[in-house]
A and B are shown apart, each in its own frame.
Chain A
Amino acid sequence: MRYAMAVDTRKCVGCSDCVVACQTENNVPIGFCRDWIVEVTNGTYPQLEMELRSERCNQCVNAPCVRCCPTGASHIVDGGIVLVTHNECIGCGACMASCPYDARYPHPDGYVDKCTFCIHRIKNGLSPACVAVCPTKCLYFGDLHDPNSEVSVVLKKRKSKTLIPEAGTDPQLYFLI
Chain B
Amino acid sequence: MEEELIVSGRMNQMIDPHLHIWHWQISLYLFLGGMAAGILAIAALYFIRGRENDYKTAVRITPFIAPFLLVIGLLALFIDLRHKLFFWQLYTNIKLQSPMSWGAWTLMVITPVSFVWCALHIKDIFPNWDWKYKWLYDLEAFFNKYKKALAWVMLIYAIILGIYTGILLSAFNARPLWNTSILGPLFLASGLSAGAAATLVLSKDSKERKQFARIDLVLIGIELFLIIHMFMGFLASTQVQIEAAQLFLGGQYTMSFWIFVVILGMLIPALLEIMELGKFHIPVVIPAVLVIFGSLMLRFIIVYAGQVSRWLY
Most B CB within 10 A of own CB, among A19, A39, A99, A100:
A100
User: Known: A39-B8, A42-B4, A102-B16. Contact between A167 and B84, CB under 8 A?
Assistant: no
B311 CB contacts on chain A under 8 angstroms: 100, 164, 166-167
Tell me the total A-B contact number using a CB cutoff of 8 A: 155
Question: In the bound complex, what is the Cα–Cα distance between A73 and B82 (angstroms)?
Answer: 14
**Chain B positions 78 through 100: 1 when the CB is less than 8 Å from some CB of chain A, otherwise 0:** 00111111110110110101111
Residue in B2, B15, B101, B173 whose beta carbon sits within 8 Å of that of A64 in the complex: B173
Interface of B is mostly: loop
Residues of B75-128 contacting chain A, CB below 8 A: 80-87, 89-90, 92-93, 95, 97-101, 103-104
Tell me if A72 and B12 are in contact (CB < 8 A). no
- Decide if A25 is an interface residue (CB 8 Å cutoff): no
Q: Which A residues are in CB contact (< 8 Å) with B14?
A: 105-106
For B87, give the chain A residue with the smallest CB separation.
A90
Query: How many B residues touch the partner, as a band?
Result: 35 or more
**Segment at the B interface, from A29-37, A121-129, A147-155:** A29-37
Kindly state whether residue B10 has any CB partner on chain A within 8 Å.
Answer: yes
Is A105 in contact with B82, judged by CB distance below 8 angstroms?
no
Is A99 a contact partner of B10 (Cβ separation < 8 A)? no
Query: How close is B151's CB to chain A, nearest CB, in angstroms?
Result: 29
Complex CA distance for A66 and B195, rounded to whole angstroms: 34
Within the complex, the shortest CB–CB distance from B186 to chain A, in Å, comes to 19
List CB contacts (< 8 Å) of B162-191 with chain A: 171-175
- Asked if B250 is an interface residue, CB under 8 A from chain A, the answer is no
Contact in complex: B22, A93 (CB < 8 Å): yes
CB distance B100 to A105 under 8 Å? Answer: no
Q: From residue A70, how far is it (CB to closest CB) to chain B in Å? A: 4
| Shortest Cβ gap from B167 to chain A (Å) | 11
Q: Is the CB of B21 within 8 A of A106?
A: yes
Report yes or no: A39 in contact with B7, Cβ–Cβ below 8 A: yes
Q: Are B81 and A32 in contact (CB under 8 A)?
A: no
The one of B19, B84, B90, B101 that contacts A97, using a Cβ cutoff of 8 Å: B19
Q: Tell me, yes or no, whether A135 is within 8 Å of chain B by CB.
A: no
Q: Mark A89-120, 1 if CB is under 8 A from B, else 0.
A: 11111101111111011100111100000000
Inter-subunit contact B172/A98 (CB<8 Å): yes
Contacts of B174 in A (CB 8 A): 64, 97-100, 167
B307 at the interface (CB under 8 A from A): yes
User: Is there a chain A Cβ closer than 8 Å to B211's Cβ?
Assistant: no
How distant is A72 from chain B, measured CB to nearest CB, in Å? 5
For B92, list chain A residues within 8 Å (CB).
71
CB within 8 Å of A: which of B1-57?
2-16, 19, 21-22
Is A46 part of the binding interface, using a Cβ–Cβ cutoff of 8 Å?
no
Are B8 and A70 in contact (CB-based, < 8 A)?
A: no
Return chain B residues, CB-CB under 8 Å to A112: 82
Q: Is the CB of B173 within 8 A of A36?
A: no
Residues of B within 8 A of A (CB): 2-16, 19, 21-22, 80-87, 89-90, 92-93, 95, 97-101, 103-104, 171-175, 238, 307, 310-311, 313
- A sample of 8 inter-chain contacts (CB < 8 A) reads A70-B90, A72-B93, A89-B83, A90-B84, A96-B21, A110-B86, A111-B83, A168-B173
Pick the 9 closest A-B CB pairs, nearest first.
Answer: A91-B82, A36-B10, A110-B83, A91-B83, A70-B101, A100-B174, A70-B100, A71-B89, A93-B21
